[in-house]
Structure 1
Amino acid sequence: MAFVITSPCRNEKSAECVEVCPVDAIHPGDDMYFIDPDVCIDCAACEAVCPVQAIYAEEEVPEEEEKFISLNRKYFEEIS
């Protein structure tokens, strides 16, 4: 997985990240967006435009936000 969306995105859903993603890897969930790890090309376009600084490279996700790594994976397992 290249990038992960974390808690600041909850209930935000501004969608700038969706608009700039060149491979349509970002999908809306009930209360936030998720990045498909199998589609993401690690371009970082989404990270640069996030108005709430919720997007991190997986290896840079803050420790207190690490649960979002597994939540992201789980989201795409459930919709498959």
Structure 2
Amino acid sequence: MAYVVAEPCIKCKYTDCVEVCPVDCFYEGANFLVIHPDECIDCGACEPACPTKAIFPEDSLPTKWSEYVRLNAELCKTWPNISEKKDPLPDAEQWKDVEAKRQYLEK
């Protein structure tokens, strides 16, 4: 069972999680990151590294974000792999605690 990046990551895109991932299973969109479910080894290193608390084991993902299982699996197929930490989006701190950001996800 893989880890899943959920809604709190949208418009923030902190990459602390990428830096600690031992298998480079993160993929990068314009304003969101996803985890490739077939590459994730379920080590859990990424979860505590996420400043927005956006990463969950699939079986612990809040129901309100269940669509993110599908989105992670779908978007990782077309987005480029990211294996090194980058600066977060310029206005990440302003968006960090904002709820209901799904409409801002740029595919």
TM-score (normalizing by structure 2): 0.70
Matched-pair contact (CA < 8 Å) for 2:21–2:46: yes
**Which structure has the greater CA radius of gyration?**
2
Q: CA RMSD in A?
A: 1.2
1:11-50 → structure 2 map (5 Å cutoff): 11-50=11-50
Please give the secondary structure, in 2, of the residue aligned with 1:71: helix
Q: How many pairs does the alignment contain?
A: 79
Greater than 3 Å deviation, 4+ residue runs: none
- CA distance in 2 between counterparts of 1:78 and 1:28 reads 9
1:1-80 → structure 2 map (5 Å cutoff): 1-78=1-78
Q: Structure 2 unaligned segments of length 5 or more: list them.
A: 80-107
CA deviation after TM superposition for structure 1 residue 31, in Å: 1.3
The percent of aligned pairs where both chains have the same amino acid is 42
